[in-house]
Structure 1
Amino acid sequence: MTQAPYDKVKNQLLDAALLHVPFDGWSEATFMAAIAESGIETGLARSICPRGAVDLAIEFHHRGDAAMVARLKSAKLGELRFRDKIATAVQYRIEVIEDKEAVRRGTALFALPQHATDGAKLIWGTCDLIWDTLGDTSDDINWYTKRATLSGVYGSTILYWLGDDSVGNQATWDFLNRRIDNVMQFEKIKAQVNDNPILKQVFAGPNWVLSKVKAPSRMPRVDLPGSWNGPN
């Protein structure tokens, strides 16, 4: 697919910036170096990336998401259990990262209060892509709980991976599987509660309220807000 001029310029800036991120982080110094080395006119670079290196850090994350989706779509996961498909997707997302230090610097950037919302949106977006690519069709409260739960798993696994020096990142994959097993245990308990006639009555009110929460519209796609269906 041919890149639009906007995307081409942003990718040129990002490629140039990645050479400097290990030394200067996702900073103004990195952004200015990217402009100088890419030959992009400063005004154009500023118009495409008004927040400078922050926008490039976001683009770096999106580039990884795209690589993960491409790998997932080409993989043959049909015979795997669904929990193993999720684990594989998270592993793929980490394996497509070409620059660990860029992620480390990005983690520090998005931990800052002024950029924390961007960081949360990026993690949520990655997990949304994983569920969508694996064929999730939920349109109720489960749409949110699946992505929220996976966001916790993905975020903690990334932090573990940043400090992992095991061969082939095996310690990270073991950590990932333990986290997913914890989630599956919670889902099992939740199913047991729903199957218990007494507890089912206790939670009848909250469950009714939650049943009115719907997933966000997919056409056009929006970010986090959902919708509320009141009683007819």
Structure 2
Amino acid sequence: MADADLKDATLDELRLALAPDIAVSAMFDGWTDAALVSACEMADVDPAVGRLAFKTSGLGGRAMDMIDAWVGSVDARMEAHFADGRLDNMPIREKIRSLVWFRLEAIMGLEESLRRATAVQAMPQNAPRALKQGWSSADKMWRLAGDTATDYNHYTKRAILAGIYGATLAVFVEDESEGKAETAAFLDRRIEGVMKFEKAKAQLLGKDREHFDVARFLGRLRYPQN
């Protein structure tokens, strides 16, 4: 949404519009009121209106609201980018890789903002919202990939992808290699590991006898033995 349109924006639209600039300011000011005010100034929005858009009484307060809006803005960019059906003829692993990598490219250069956001999300009172954010993004990725599962697989696919994405973000934020080559290699290994696991699981258990410990598997993704 162009800055000129923000005067007529709803509060939901304003949150998404301000979120990218808040993320830029968060590199220096953290996820604070100062970052919000800076974003409002860049967008020529009254800071009082900006504060109203992020007014909350929920867990995590305004910082989590701003982070949630940032995640939502990346979700929106991803959905718009892939709305043309460019994923349709790709193998599933390439669909997932393309979606995850798009999200990483969308926040390239904002590693310090991500590091600070992760610290906020890691606070005990913010864990439920952080998990919800990861689940929501994973759900959107699977839907763009064409997944229509409504059974047990609906939940395991999203839990596994949320684990992959979270683990990849942890590598991304510390990766100083050219073109984030280490992150790309890590992501490829995680996706390949899931593909091999799913193939072995199908062979051993059969379609009607799947029993899968999601928590244990996500732990292996986050702390791989390599």
- TM-score category of the 2 structures, normalised to the smaller one: 0.7 to 0.9
Q: CA deviation at 1:105?
A: 1.4
Mapping of 1:16-165 within 5 angstroms?
Answer: 17-31=22-36, 34=39, 38-40=44-46, 42=48, 45-46=51-52, 48-50=54-56, 51-74=61-84, 76-97=86-107, 99-165=110-176
Equivalent residues, number? 201
Q: Which amino acid aligns with 1:115?
A: N
Deviation at 1:25, TM superposition (A): 0.9
Q: Letter of the 1:124 partner, please give it.
A: W
Task: Determine the C-alpha separation between the residues in 1 that align with 2:18 and 2:93.
Answer: 38
Give the % identical residues.
34
Equivalent residue number for residue 6 of structure 1: 11
5+ residue gaps in structure 2?
A: 213-226
TM-score normalised by L of structure 2: 0.76
What code does the residue aligned with 1:53 have?
A
Structure 1 stretches of 5 or more lacking a match? 208-232
Higher Cα Rg: structure 1 or 2? 1
Question: TM-score when scaled to structure 1?
Answer: 0.75
Name the CA shift for 1:80/1:24 in 2 (closer, same or farther; >3 Å): same
CA distance in 2, matches of 1:132, 1:71: 14
- Please tell me whether the aligned partners of residues 111 and 173 of structure 2 are also in contact (alpha carbons under 8 angstroms): yes
Q: 1:10 to 1:78 in 2, by over 3 A?
A: closer
What CA deviation, in whole Å up to 9, does each residue of 1:59-93 have, x standing for no partner? 01110111112222236334422111111111111
Structure 1 CA distance, aligned partners of 2:13 and 2:149?
Answer: 35
Distance 1:15 1:191, change over 3 A: closer
> Aligned letter for 1:76?
R
Distance 1:152 1:44, change over 3 A: closer
Alpha-carbon spacing, 1:142–1:20, altered in 2? closer, same or farther (3 Å)? same
RCO higher in 1 or 2 (8 Å CA, sep ≥ 6)? 2
Instruction: Quote the Cα distance in structure 2 between the aligned partners of 1:88 and 1:35.
Output: 32
